[in-house]
């Protein structure tokens, strides 16, 4: 969803070409190697850049290594959280700090390959605002890949965005996209959806993916339950936040009409002496549907009242204003 305020529609000529944002929690074993790989690629690319490491409250020696890297390399910028706030929070703060005309995000565990950076940036130039990496040949345990396929399929189906891999850590953005996205909770899984609904042109590119070399994944099985709830949040807030009654009202009315029809039918039968209502469970079903219907319409109306509190001109993504 789009942030309410303060993004510039006309970008001032940025000095810096690329910001690389790396969120990390307890990744001490891979940081030096990652930094080295990024440096090699960026030296070859001959563009100005910064690497923003966002330490999500690591408990291992990650921060010590980051301090070292910061001392050795002027491209390195480090943000350290006081405690673990999560990957979305780390990305969000990294986005806020980023000064580049373009931004690339990548995981710190070496599963994403810095060699992909130039290709992703090229893909952006084909009239896209966001290029999401696609882990086409994925090197993860099957317990992760199967649910993830299902998720990607459902998300694609529900949103109509034709990409295969929504939650790839490796993504490239035009600077204005990240300044506008509001990533909180665990919504980093649905960044392409949020960007798409804000009006940005989202594309994808197949990228190399490696097995995790050091350490272990930072997300447990709960990722799938939370991921599902977050999908609901994203679908609801992107489509219906400004017109909640359209969602709740439709289902409320359908439920109310179905319930009324059922009970009316049973009441007529009862009046004609054909049935006794005490042994018709269907009567209760009808009753329930009527109550649910009224509830839904009421929730929709409450939603409309909340929507009214917003300023009507806020929250829309503006590409340009000519004055």
Q: Which residues make up the interface to ligand UDP (CB under 6 A)?
A: 23-25, 27, 56, 84, 86-87, 90, 107-109, 111, 169, 217-219
Angle (nearest 5°) at CA 262 between 261 and 265 = 80
Residue 111 binds to Mg ion (criterion: CB under 5 A): yes
Alpha-carbon span 175 to 313, nearest angstrom: 23
Stretch that binds Mg ion, among 17-25, 111-119, 252-260, 314-322 (CB under 5 A): 111-119
Write down the least CB distance from residue 151 to ligand UDP, Å: 12
Binding site partner of 165, from ligand UDP, Mg ion, none, Cβ cut-off 5-8 A by kind: none
Among 109, 116, 129, 176, binds Mg ion (CB under 5 A): 109
State how far the alpha carbon of 32 is from the alpha carbons of 80, 115, 192, 203, 212, in Å: 17, 16, 29, 31, 15
Give how many residues touch Mg ion by CB under 5 A.
Answer: 3
Task: Please state the closest distance from residue 183 (CB atom) to ligand UDP, in A.
Answer: 12
Q: Phi/psi at 316 (nearest 5 deg)?
A: -100, 140
Q: Where are the beta strands (DSSP E) in the chain?
A: 18-24, 49-55, 76-80, 102-105, 130-135, 171-174, 202-207
Q: Nearest 5°: phi and psi at 54?
A: -110, 105
| Dist. CA 313–CA 206, nearest whole Å | 38
148 binds Mg ion (CB under 5 A): no
Least Cβ distance, residue 132 to ligand UDP (angstroms): 14
Residue 247 and residue 305 in contact, taking contact as beta carbons nearer than 8 Å: no
CB 225 to ligand UDP: min, Å: 15
Residue 27 touches which member of ligand UDP, Mg ion, none, C-beta under 5-8 Å by kind: ligand UDP
User: Please, what is the minimum distance in Å from the beta carbon of residue 136 to Mg ion?
Assistant: 16
Residue 23 interacting partner from Mg ion, ligand UDP, none (CB closer than 5 to 8 Å by kind): ligand UDP
Find the shortest distance in angstroms from Cβ 212 to ligand UDP.
6
**C-alpha to C-alpha distance for 226 and 125, rounded to whole angstroms:** 34
Q: Which does 159 bind (CB under 5 to 8 A by kind): Mg ion, ligand UDP, none?
A: none
The nearer residue to Mg ion, 111 or 317, going by C-beta atoms, is 111
**Does 105 help bind Mg ion (rule: CB under 5 A)?**
no
Q: Please state, in angstroms and rounded to a whole number, the distance separating the CA atoms of residues 208 and 198.
A: 28
Q: How far apart are CA 231 and CA 217, in angstroms?
A: 21
Instruction: Quote the least distance from Cβ 124 to ligand UDP, whole Å.
Output: 22
The site partner of 177 among Mg ion, ligand UDP, none (C-beta below 5 to 8 Å per kind) is none
- Rounded to an integer, what distance in angstroms lies between the CA atom of residue 56 and that of residue 186? 14
Q: Which two tokens stand for residue 263?
A: 């009970």
* Using rule CB under 5 A, residue 19 touches Mg ion: no
Residues that bind Mg ion (CB under 5 A): 107, 109, 111
């Amino acid at each position: 969803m789009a942030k309410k305020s303060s993004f510039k529609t006309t970008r001032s000529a940025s000095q810096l070409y690329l910001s690389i944002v790396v969120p990390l929690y307890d990744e001490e074993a891979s940081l030096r190697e990652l930094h080295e790989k990024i440096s090699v690629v960026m030296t070859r690319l001959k563009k100005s850049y910064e690497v923003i490491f966002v330490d999500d409250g690591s408990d291992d020696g990650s921060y010590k290594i980051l301090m070292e890297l910061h001392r050795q390399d002027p491209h390195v910028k480090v943000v350290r959280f006081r405690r673990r706030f999560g990957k979305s929070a780390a990305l969000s703060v990294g986005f806020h700090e980023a000064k580049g005309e373009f931004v690339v995000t990548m995981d710190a565990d070496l599963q994403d390959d810095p060699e992909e950076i130039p290709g992703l940036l090229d893909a952006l130039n084909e009239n896209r605002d966001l290029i999401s990496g696609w882990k086409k040949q994925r090197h993860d345990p099957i317990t992760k890949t199967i649910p993830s396929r299902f998720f990607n399929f459902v998300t694609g189906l529900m949103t109509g965005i034709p990409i295969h891999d929504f939650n790839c850590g490796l993504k490239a953005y035009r600077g204005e996209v990240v300044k506008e996205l509001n990533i909180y909770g665990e919504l980093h899984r649905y960044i392409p959806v949020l960007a798409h609904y804000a009006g940005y042109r989202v594309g994808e590119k197949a990228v190399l993916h490696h097995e995790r070399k050091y350490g272990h994944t930072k997300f447990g099985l709960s990722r799938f339950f939370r991921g599902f709830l977050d999908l609901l949040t994203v679908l609801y807030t992107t489509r219906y936040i400004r017109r909640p009654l359209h969602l709740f009202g439709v289902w409320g009315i359908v439920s109310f009409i179905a319930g009324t029809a059922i009970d009316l039918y049973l009441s007529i039968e009862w009046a004609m002496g054909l049935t006794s209502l005490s042994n018709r469970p269907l009567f209760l079903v009808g009753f329930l549907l009527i109550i649910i219907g009224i509830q839904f319409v009421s929730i929709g109306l409450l939603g409309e009242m909340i929507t009214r509190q917003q300023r009507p001109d806020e929250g829309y993504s503006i590409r340009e204003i000519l004055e």
